[in-house]
Amino acid sequence: MSGENNALWLGGHTQYRGKNWNIQKAQALERDNYLCQKCQEPSVVVHHIKPYHLFTNYKEANQLDNLISLCKRCHGIEEIEFYKNNKCLDNGRHIPHLKPELKICGKCNNPFIPSTSKVRWCDKCRTYTCANCGTSFFSRRYRTVKFCSKKCRNEFISNPPLADDQ
């Protein structure tokens, strides 16, 4: 279960944890001997015991007594357990600066929510018709696409349609 299907989905994620994060992270890893404090496997994650987004100040969130070294598996378990045990904190969780922004489609001028910052067209405007077989297909490319597959492109090149004036 990933993305918005996951109960912990916040609408996106940022790695920024404040100006002192790198120092505090290194200190927590060193304190915990680079081992997961649950299963003693080598640690690759420093976890906020009380989630970062519940603080108003990064210095409070990044205090060493709020940080623990965990492996990826135990980190996921800890995240789920926190919200199971603190359902009251689950309502209205968000990362304000990551709320999706509406963009205006570069082709049809309709508003849409882009999947990435580079997307300039809505999904409707990224639906094309293959010049070879005539089927409709969707493409994430940012330029006009003529063929639904390499096979259709190669067929079209090897057997181009006859011109109308012949």
Residue 105 contacts by C-beta under 8 Å, 6 or more apart in sequence?
111, 112, 120, 121, 122, 124, 125
Q: CATH fold of 3-97, please? A: His-Me finger endonuclease fold (3.40.1800)
Which element (helix H / strand E) includes 70? Answer: strand 67-70
Q: With a cut of 70, say whether residue 90 has pLDDT above it.
A: no
Sequence ranges of the domains in the chain: 3-97, 103-158
> Cα(61)–Cα(103) distance, rounded to whole angstroms?
33
Q: What is the mean pLDDT of residues 32-49?
A: 90
Share of residues in the chain with pLDDT > 90 (%):
23
Most confident range (mean pLDDT) of 60-74, 88-102, 144-158 is 60-74
List the one residue out of 17, 54, 20, 147 whose CA is nearest residue 139.
147
Q: How confident is the model at residue 31 (pLDDT cuts 50, 70, 90)?
A: very high
